[in-house]
């Protein structure tokens, strides 16, 4: 089944807030920052109906300080490559609800995703171009990782255009 891109849902920010509250309660001081990232964090942007959350921690290793509490919340760890972040997902009743990206606080992964999100929020023409790109790609993919990889060149190009001290090449 091809990747499904749906119309923007104003519930996405509320879903993020409710889940972030649950995460903060379980993770305590391990969660240095939680951010709503990805397309569902950009008002008006069509996206997959899966809310992306970025969790910033002091260090990726050892994983136990965050992995155990996340697993108690029914998050499933998925082995990720490259090793610059850790990826978890949460499903209920066979429906994927959240993707959780764990990254090191003040690191490149954290910075890139926040800057990209903020750029799309403040530049409607960039958000529209990204949406068009996603809509062109989605029908050709039924595996989310392959779809994400196909979007990567567009994202990297936009990151270079954003440039300046906000981005790390």
CATH number of the 11-166 domain:
3.30.460.10
Would you state the pLDDT for residue 79?
Answer: 81
Would you state the pLDDT for residue 169?
Answer: 34
User: What residues does each domain of the chain span?
Assistant: 11-166
Model confidence over 63-84: pLDDT tens digits?
Answer: 999 999 999 999 999 987 667 8
Would you state the pLDDT for residue 165?
Answer: 35
Report how far residue 1's alpha carbon sits from residue 64's, in angstroms, rounded to the nearest whole number. 35
Model confidence over 16-60: pLDDT tens digits?
Answer: 999 999 999 999 999 999 999 999 999 999 999 999 999 999 999
DSSP of the chain? -PPPPB---THHHHHHHHHHHHHHHHHGGG-SEEEEESGGGSTT--B-S-EEEEEEES-SSS-HHHHHHHHHTT-EEE--SSTTSEEEEEEETTEEEEEEEEEETTSHHHHHHHHHHHHHHH-HHHHHHHHHHHHHHGGG-SSHHHHHHHHHHHHHHHHHHH-GGG---
pLDDT-derived band at 143 (thresholds 50, 70, 90) equals confident
Average pLDDT, the chain: 93
Residue 125: pLDDT over 70: yes
């Amino acid at each position: 089944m091809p990747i499904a891109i749906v119309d923007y849902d104003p519930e996405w920010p509320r879903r993020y807030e409710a889940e972030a509250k649950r995460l903060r309660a379980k993770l305590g001081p391990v969660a240095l920052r939680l951010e709503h990232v990805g397309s569902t964090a950009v008002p008006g942007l069509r996206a997959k109906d899966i809310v992306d959350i970025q969790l910033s921690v002091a260090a990726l290793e050892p994983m136990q300080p965050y992995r155990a509490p996340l697993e108690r919340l029914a998050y499933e760890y998925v082995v990720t490559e490259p090793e610059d972040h850790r990826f978890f997902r949460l499903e209920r009743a066979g429906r994927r609800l959240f993707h959780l990206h764990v990254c090191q606080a003040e690191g490149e992964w954290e910075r890139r995703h926040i800057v990209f999100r903020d750029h799309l929020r403040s530049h409607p023409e960039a958000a529209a171009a990204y949406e068009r790109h996603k809509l062109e790609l989605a029908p050709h993919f039924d595996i989310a990782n392959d779809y994400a990889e196909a979007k990567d060149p567009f994202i990297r190009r936009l990151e270079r255009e954003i440039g300046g001290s906000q981005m790390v090449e």
